Structures are given as structure tokens and as C-alpha cells.
Structure 1
Amino acid sequence: MESILATMGDQLGQMLVVLGGALAVGFAGSGSAWGIGLANEAAAGIMTEDPKKFGYALVLLALPGTQGIYGLLVAVLAMQKAGLLGGGSVALTVWQGFGICCACLPIAIAGFYSAIWQGKSSAATILMIAKRPEQIGKAVILPAMCETYAVFGLLVSILMLNGIKL
């Protein structure tokens, strides 16, 4: 029993890294899927009226998907830092693993919420281009404003990851 507890204690730091990566991908990816789904509803609606607007809608549909990519990037960076991606495994303390886990949270949270709101904004602008396709430039800028906060979450996660000494 003691050897099992010792082994668990030795691997807890790495497991916390895996948890952080899972949260980053899971939440940011879920937000992206939700946001894209919201925008898809509007896109399907306008394409029933005019299938030629698919290209315009596709640009706006893709925007909420970037948060999922950011979450994946942070998860890969976290696992790479811990040596879990092909390199030699790094001996982590529980606190180092917890720090890496916490460093994954900014993109997990900011990515989740910004993707949903970006999807709502994309849906609104898809409806806008249904009536005024010449306004596609403005239509892209509006949902891109939500992206700013996902980028902030990505930046803070990367800075926090780089600040953890192993």
C-alpha cells in the first residue's frame, strides 16, 4: 500500500499537468463548438434564402473556432514543459504540477466564454450580411472584438507557463 501511495505521490505533479491540459482543451474547445453551433444556425438560415452567401458565412463561422486551437496550443506547451510529449519525463513536484495546471486556466475560462459570445456575435453579423453583403468587412470586425479576450487568456497562460521553474 505504501508503494502505491509513493508512486501516486511521485506522479501527482504530472497528473496535474495532464488535468490542466485537459481543462484548456476541454473548455476552450467546448466554447468553440458552442459558438460555431450558434453561428451555424444563422448561416443555415441565410443560405436557405441565398446559397451564394456560403462564402461570407464561412468566414464568420470559423471565428469562434480559434479558441479551441488556443486551448490545444496551451495544452501542448504544458505537456511539453513537463516532458510528457516524447522527451524525457521531468520530475515535477506537486506544486510545480499545480502551477502548470493553474497556468492552463486563463485560456480555459477566457476561451470558453469568448467563443460562445463570438459565436453569438458571428450569428448576428451573418444575419447582417444576408441583407448587406457589401458590409462583410465590418461583419468580420464585430465578432473579432470577442477574440481579443481569448488572445489575452492565451498570452497569460503562456506567460504563466514560462514563469514556472522546473
Structure 2
Amino acid sequence: MTDLAQMVELQQSLTILGTIGGLALALLGAGLAAVLPGIGSAKGTGIAGEAGTGLLCQDPSKFGKVMILQVIPGTQGLYGLVVWFFAIFRMGLLSGTLPELTIAQGMQYFFACLPMALGGLFSAIAQGRVAAGSINILAKKPDDWSKGMVLCITVEFYAILSLLASMLMIINISA
């Protein structure tokens, strides 16, 4: 009798683990999609901001252009938040009930969020470095500062590809 009760208890715990485990994996992926690009954006805007403060000590009139160059690496954090929101919406978390996701569905959400999580993290930091270099262009050749903007936008393209990859994968996860 105790063996049967133990087997029933084990089966129930595996069912609960499967439900909670799938949701946990999905939430981990969505959370990484929000947090890692946010960390990258904080780092990237910080790098650009450090370069900008040096220029602004010399020429405060360039504040508007410096601010534009500093803000650009912050877009990845926004893209990550969009993926997070879309993922939790597709999971059904906004319906007011806790969704039941299988481990397979949880893994699908987890891996669908990874392009934005990793692409956003690394591209924001790289873009911050490019923006810092662009601030150097602004300091030495103010008329050519738009060339630095083009260089920053080149890095932005890869953040957009990460966003697109994650969104297309999330859209194709079956409920």
C-alpha cells in the first residue's frame, strides 16, 4: 500500500514539476530578454556618457549632439522589454491566471528569448564604444558628427535583427 501511495505522490509531483518547470523556463527566458539588454544599455550609455562629459567640459554647447550619441545604446534595453512583454503576453500571464506550460513549451520560450537577451547585451556595449568614438569625432571635427551617427546605426542593425529573431520565434510557439 505504501508503494502505491508513493508512486501516486511521485506522479503528482512530476506533474506539478512539469507545469511549474515549463513556466519557470519560459519566465527565465523572458526575464533574460529584459535584463541582459538592460545591463548592456546601462553599460553602453555609461561608456558614451563618460566620453561625453569630457567633451562637455570643454564645449557645453555640444550637449544636444552628445546626448543623442549617448542615448543610442539605450535602445537595446527597450527592445528587450518589448520581447519580455510579448513573451509573457503569449504565455497567457496577463490573463489573470497562471498558465500551464510543458517543459517543451518552456524551453521554446527560453530559446526564443535568447537572441534578444544576448544580442541586446553585446550590441549595446559595442554601440556604446562606437558612440564614445563618435563623440571624439564631434570634438575634433564637429561638422562630421553625422558620420559617427551612421557608425552607431550600423551596430543598431544587429540589435534589430536580434529583436526580429526573438519576435518571430515567439510568434511561432504553439499554445
TM-score range, shorter chain: over 0.9
Give, in angstroms, the shift of residue 136 of structure 1: 2.7
Identity of aligned residues (%): 42
Give unmatched runs, 5+ long, in structure 2. 1-8
2:123 is aligned to 114
Give unmatched runs, 5+ long, in structure 1. none
Alignment partner for residue 83 of structure 1, among 92, 98, 102?
92
- Within 1, Cα distance between the matches of 2:74 and 2:100? 34
Q: What aligned pairs does 1:40-55 form with structure 2 within 5 A after superposition?
A: 40-55=49-64
Alignment partner for residue 22 of structure 1, among 10, 14, 31?
31
CA offsets 1:30-74 (integer angstroms, 9 cap, x no match): 111111111011000000001111101000001100011111111
- Within 2, Cα distance between the matches of 1:56 and 1:103? 36
- Counterpart residue identity of residue 128, structure 1: I
2:66 is aligned to 57
Q: Which has the larger radius of gyration?
A: 2
Q: How many residues align?
A: 166
Give, in angstroms, the shift of residue 105 of structure 1: 0.1
- Counterpart residue identity of residue 70, structure 2: L
TM-score, normalised relative to structure 2? 0.89
Please tell me whether the aligned partners of residues 82 and 89 of structure 1 are also in contact (alpha carbons under 8 angstroms). no
Report the RMSD for the aligned CA atoms in angstroms.
Answer: 1.5
| 2:162 is the counterpart of 1:153 | yes
- Within 2, Cα distance between the matches of 1:87 and 1:104? 22
